[in-house]
Amino acid sequence: MESTRQQKISRLLQKELADIFQKESRTMFMGKMISVTTVRVTPDLGMAKSYLSIFPAEGIREVLKEIRIANPKIRFLLGRRVGKQIRVIPQLEFYIDDSLDYIEKIDDLLKS
C-alpha cells in the first residue's frame, strides 16, 4: 500500500517525465512516441520505477537501451523541473509496459 506522499511524488514524476520524453524523443530516441504509463516510488523515495509505452512497436529494445544510456541526462532534466518540490531526485529505472499487448492478446483469444 503506497502512502499519500508516494502517490503524489509518483504522479508528479509521471507528469514531468512524460513532458521530458515528449520534448526529447525527436532528437534522442529515434523519433519514437514514448508515454509514461506508471511510475512507482519506493517508500524512502530513493528509487522510481517508470513503465513506458513506446510507439511504434518496432525496435522497442533498442529504444529502451537508448533511454537507459540517457538516464543521467533524463534525471538531470527531471531535477531541474522538480528540484524545488523534492529534496532528493530519485534514481530512475525504466521498464517497458506491455499491458496493452497483454490486453490485445486476451481480446484476440476471446474473439476466437
The CB density around residue 112, as the number of other CB atoms within 10 Å, is: 4
* Architecture in CATH of 4-111: 2-Layer Sandwich (3.30)
Q: What is the residue extent of each domain of the chain?
A: 4-111
Percent of the chain with pLDDT over 70: 100
Categorize the per-residue pLDDT at 8 as very low, low, confident or very high, splitting at 50, 70 and 90.
very high
DSSP reduced 3-state for 51: strand
pLDDT in tens, 20-45: 999 887 778 777 888 999 999 999 99
- Give the span between the Cα atoms of 91 and 89, in whole angstroms: 7
User: What are the angstrom distances between the C-alpha of 33 and each of 2, 40, 73, 78?
Assistant: 29, 21, 18, 19
**Is the confidence at residue 101, as pLDDT, over 80?**
no
User: What are the angstrom distances between the C-alpha of 56 and each of 18, 19, 34, 89?
Assistant: 17, 18, 9, 30
The C-alpha cell at 81 is 523541473
Can you give the pTM of this predicted structure? 0.85
Nearest to 20 by CA among 62, 73, 87, 59: 73
The C-alpha cell at 67 is 533511454
Q: For strand 91-96 and strand 33-41, is the pairing parallel, antiparallel, or unpaired?
A: unpaired
